[in-house]
Amino acid sequence: PRPILLTRHGESRDNVRGRIGGDSFLSEAGELYSKKLANFVEKRLKAERAASIWTSTLQRTILTASPIAGFPKIQWRALDEINAGVCDGMTYEEIKKNMPEEYESRKKDKLRYRYPRGESYLDVIQRLEPVIIELERQRAPVVVISHQAVLRALYSYFADRPLKEIPHIEVPLHTIIEIQMGVTGVQEKRYKLMD
Ligand code: G3H
């Protein structure tokens, strides 16, 4: 069995400000996580010469991967965060105040709700299909550094969780979820590298 390591990017400056979307850099805590992650990955995958690191095309995942040495890095647009369309860059408070109908419809059906000029969770799940096919095809370990909404969808696929749960799954920051696929099914371990 070979592991798939899933992690969100280190805390971003927009995370600190409570803003969704965007393309911000890492906070100090996020930078610290990138170093701890590099340490962990280099030890955990030391003997795995064919392993690779997959990121999205957004700065916060690329910067989180940057201290990791010794493995090829691949950027996937399909790993980018859910596109919040007209709400990109807003806080949830601002959405609630300025676009109350949007806020309410998302609350009612978070899986199907599509941001105006953006995406729904169902859209994200669909665009992840080529990533999942490629992950299944890989024989070597893969480290996936992506975003909360995307990782909810990827995680649910491997952990076999129902569609309706996907938008509500906790994927904490600064934590690695290791998935092992063996003959007896899927095993999961979590490594919390910092608070
Ligand atoms: O920036 C977007 C978040 O990572 C996704 O969170 O779908 O719970 O609003 P949400």
Q: What is the pLDDT of residues 128-142, one digit of tens each?
A: 999 999 999 999 999
Our answer to whether residue 8 is catalytic in this structure is yes
* pLDDT number for residue 115: 98
| Token code pair at residue 116 | 């105006």
ipTM: 0.91
Pocket of ligand 1 (CB under 6 A): 20-21, 81-82, 147-149, 167
| pLDDT at site 181 | 82
**Known active-site residue 147:** yes
**Whole-model pTM above 0.95?**
yes
User: Of 60, 106, 127, 152, which residue is the catalytic one?
Assistant: 60
Residue nearest to atom 10 of ligand 1 (CA): 149
* Whole-number pLDDT of residue 183: 80
**Residue stretches of the chain with pLDDT short of 70:** 1
Residue nearest atom 6 of ligand 1, based on CA coordinates: 149
